Structure 1
């Protein structure tokens, strides 16, 4: 076993222990744990990562719209990946896109709204990404 493989194993164990602890984690730590665990169990953790990224953007970065938008974009990417693996998870992707759209509206970035809304409609119609 190489050192990097060992470090990765340690990171996975730390993430699992953090999430299984009796204390509620701050959004930042929850996101960090899910980012690690998605690498080993994407089907289990992508939906949780998408939700945690949204909460992190809302709780910790409401005053920093660019950062909030980047976190919501990461949530959309996680939801898209999940949707690619399991097309029945369309509601997860639609919710992530809607939350991304919401941030775009708050930032008055109208030029990007159309493509997000088209993707939402396509996914809702069962057309995929």
Structure 2
């Protein structure tokens, strides 16, 4: 279970590094292809807001990577659960307020990681 959890943590971290790049550096170019339902005329005016959002995604990714580098196994699980929990909550909120697709892309992988960590920790 621990290996599966770590794999999921890596996947979630990579996704959030991608979100960072997309929102901070490619908002007015590549993001238009990803966020097709977002009005095209709003990409430029919301560039700063997207960059701020991307920065937060980068912090989540950095926290997940950091969790994998912690030597103490208990603290590694605690920190992983914290950052996966943040991602899951953000994904659930995004699904409830913006797009249902956010649940599948963001919250579901984080919830899987949490499940694997808890199974490892309690079994």
User: TM over 0.5, yes or no?
Assistant: no
TM-score, scaled to structure 2? 0.42
Higher RCO structure, 1 or 2 (CA under 8 Å, sep 6+) = 2
